[in-house]
Amino acid sequence: MKHKPYFPNTNADRRAWLANFKTNIAIDGPGLGYSASKITILQDMCDTMIAGIDAADAAKAAAKSKNSDKDTLIKDGMEAMRKEVQTIKANSSYTEATGNSLGIIGSEEIIDYSTAKTTLKLVATPLGIEVKFGLEHCEAADIFSKRKADDAFVFQKRIMHPPYLDKRLNAEINIPELRQYYVVLVMDDEQVGIPSDIASIKI
């Protein structure tokens, strides 16, 4: 029968294995013909590896604590720093050269509008269906919808500030209706990118 490797992969399991070997080699060693000095050497090897595991675990815990402290310091410090940067940029003597010198102007973002695509999330609310999505750096979006009675998707509205709220009532009162939506992003009054995946909801 084929067995898995006897030496574990995790530090906790390795430590337990070494502790067990250290204890039981003293019991089983004499029966294997091991001298007391040989058993002591093996036990010392176990102690050395256990110490290494313990030291690594302690260092990991300390590093985690230090990283947490670092994140807090940066969060608090940058909150104050951003306010100061706003003050600097509002200064009448501020120039772009000053901003570049201080490193407070972000690098220019290059956006490929041909591949821009958003993701929809539909939420039923008391006022209607809320169509949530991001503009993905575009200026607006065209909303398309299809109801049970529609043969194809119908343009609803071009909006600049999502989300979009569809307040239309169901075609048949008190009869559940499947609604489907997709969105096409808009830049410079032209549709760009890739239409979103179709999202559906039954109300």
Query: What are the extents of the domains in the chain?
Result: 1-106, 113-202
For residue 109, the SS3 value is coil
pTM of this prediction? 0.52
Q: Which CATH number fits domain 113-202: 3.90.650.10, 2.60.40.10, 2.60.40.1180, 1.10.1200.10?
A: 2.60.40.10
| The predicted structure's pLDDT at residue 172 | 86
| The predicted structure's pLDDT at residue 108 | 81
* CB atoms closer than 10 angstroms to residue 22: 18
For residue 28, the SS3 value is helix
- Tell me whether residue 50 is exposed, middle or buried, using C-beta atoms within 10 angstroms of its C-beta: 0 to 12, 13 to 18, 19 or more: middle
Question: CA 133, CA 146: separation in Å to the nearest integer?
Answer: 18
| The predicted structure's pLDDT at residue 14 | 94
pLDDT(27) > 90: yes
